[in-house]
C-alpha cells in the first residue's frame, strides 16, 4: 500500500482484520461463555477439559479445548480433591 493507505485500512478494519463491532461481539460471547462455565462447574462434576467442552456444546457453545483452556486460566479455575474443577472465587 502506498503512503498512509495501510493506516486507513487498519483503522477501518481493526487489528487482525476485525472491526470494532466484531471485537465487541467477541467479548460478549466470551463473557457469556464464562458465565456458562461458572454454572457448569458449580452444578456438574467436571474432571477434564474435554468434559467441559462437551457440556458447553450441549448448551450451544461450540468451542475448542484450547479456548476452554484459556477460559479456565481466565476464570482462575483449579482442580480440587477428587480431580474436580472448582472456582477459586467460591
Share of the chain above pLDDT 90, in %: 66
Interhelix angle 65-74/49-58, nearest 10 degrees: 100
12/47: higher pLDDT: 47
* CA pseudo-torsion sign 32, 38, 39, 40: positive
pTM: 0.72
CA-based R_g, the chain, Å: 18
pLDDT at 89 over 90: no
Amino acid at each position: 500500500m502506498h503512503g498512509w493507505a495501510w493506516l486507513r485500512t487498519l483503522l477501518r478494519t481493526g487489528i487482525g482484520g476485525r472491526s470494532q463491532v466484531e471485537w465487541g461481539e467477541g467479548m460478549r460471547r466470551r463473557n457469556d461463555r464464562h458465565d456458562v462455565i461458572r454454572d457448569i462447574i458449580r452444578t456438574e462434576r467436571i474432571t477434564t477439559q474435554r468434559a467441559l467442552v462437551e457440556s458447553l456444546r450441549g448448551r450451544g457453545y461450540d468451542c475448542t479445548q484450547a479456548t476452554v483452556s484459556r477460559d479456565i486460566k481466565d476464570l482462575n479455575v483449579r482442580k480440587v480433591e477428587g480431580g474436580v474443577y472448582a472456582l477459586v472465587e467460591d
